[in-house]
Amino acid sequence: MQAPRLKRAQALSPSSEWALFLDVDGTILGFADTPNDVAPSDRVTGVLREIDLCLKGAVALISGRAIGNLDHLFAPQKLPAAGLHGLERRDANGRLHILGEAEALEHLRVPLTKLASFHEGAILEDKGRTLAIHYRRAPNAAEGIRQRVEELVRPSSDELRVIHGKMVSEIKPRHADKGSAIRAFMDEVPFTGRLPVFIGDDVTDEDGFAAVNALKGHAVHVGDGASKNAHYGLSGVNEVIEWLETWPSIIHRLVG
């Protein structure tokens, strides 16, 4: 059955009572051959600063990247953030909340290293509490890599989960996801009592979409692919930034 057509996100009117949650790669930053080749433009960092002021700090990054990597990308700005798909979270007061252990994935490091080295262009990214094989530079190997990753993780499927994203297969513990991170933020100042809005582009963001829907918020999917849980859509990174750039003037006009 064909997925329902998404409403245009521009139909939503930004409010000073919103809380904004943003995926990073594929949402506010474009993709590159490797995660380390990506960098935000001054335009992106500028709009994040403006919206953070408009929403009085109720802005958080919700990413598969580690928080340390997000801080490096967006320095000197340090927003509240959830990294590693919710396994680590820094609240608005700067406190770190850590879930999961690197040891849970230890038995997979050697076979995944061998798998990546077998396919020219594939890269194993070891984030400590998650492992990700990127195959953007080995597109013909995508199906074989996905199948092998599933095989390797199957004996540990009660504890571990595989997420197949855009040209990446990532293994993570099951006990946290982007949805749980958003729910945790929404229980804390300055997010609590606000309407959550989450913008993301990939299957890894579906847990976050479901969470904001349950909280009567807005889930916005980026790109041409289908989404199980988002009701609104934007075409790509440029359109995300263009929409976010309209928020400050709209919010200032509404609050007088």
Predicted pLDDT at 1: 35
Smallest CA-to-CA distance from 109 within 121, 98, 117 is with 117
The fold for domain 7-99+176-255 equals: Rossmann fold (3.40.50)
Predicted pLDDT at 60: 98
How distant, in Å, are the alpha carbons of 22, 64, 127, 220 from that of 170? 19, 9, 10, 22
Domain ranges (residues) in the chain: 7-99+176-255, 102-173
pLDDT in tens, 108-156: 999 999 999 999 999 999 999 999 999 999 999 999 999 999 999 999 9
Quote the CA–CA distance of 53 and 68 in Å, as a whole number.
Answer: 23
Predicted pLDDT at 179: 97
Q: What percent of the chain has pLDDT over 90?
A: 85
102-173, which class in CATH? alpha beta
Quote the CA–CA distance of 58 and 20 in Å, as a whole number.
Answer: 6
Q: Do 102-173 and 7-99+176-255 fall under one CATH topology?
A: no
Residue 75 and residue 68 in contact, taking contact as beta carbons nearer than 8 Å: no
Residue 189 and residue 92 in contact, taking contact as beta carbons nearer than 8 Å: yes
Predicted pLDDT at 2: 40
Would residue 23 show up in a list of annotated catalytic residues for this protein? Answer: yes
pLDDT (tens, 9 = 90+) of the chain, 256 residues, equals 344 579 999 999 999 999 999 999 999 999 877 777 888 999 999 999 999 999 999 999 999 999 999 999 999 999 999 999 999 999 999 999 998 777 889 999 999 999 999 999 999 999 999 999 999 999 999 999 999 999 999 999 999 999 998 899 999 998 889 999 999 999 999 999 999 999 999 999 999 999 999 999 999 999 987 899 999 999 999 999 999 999 999 998 887 6
Residue 119 and residue 138 in contact, taking contact as beta carbons nearer than 8 Å: yes
Quote the CA–CA distance of 230 and 206 in Å, as a whole number.
Answer: 8
Predicted pLDDT at 256: 61
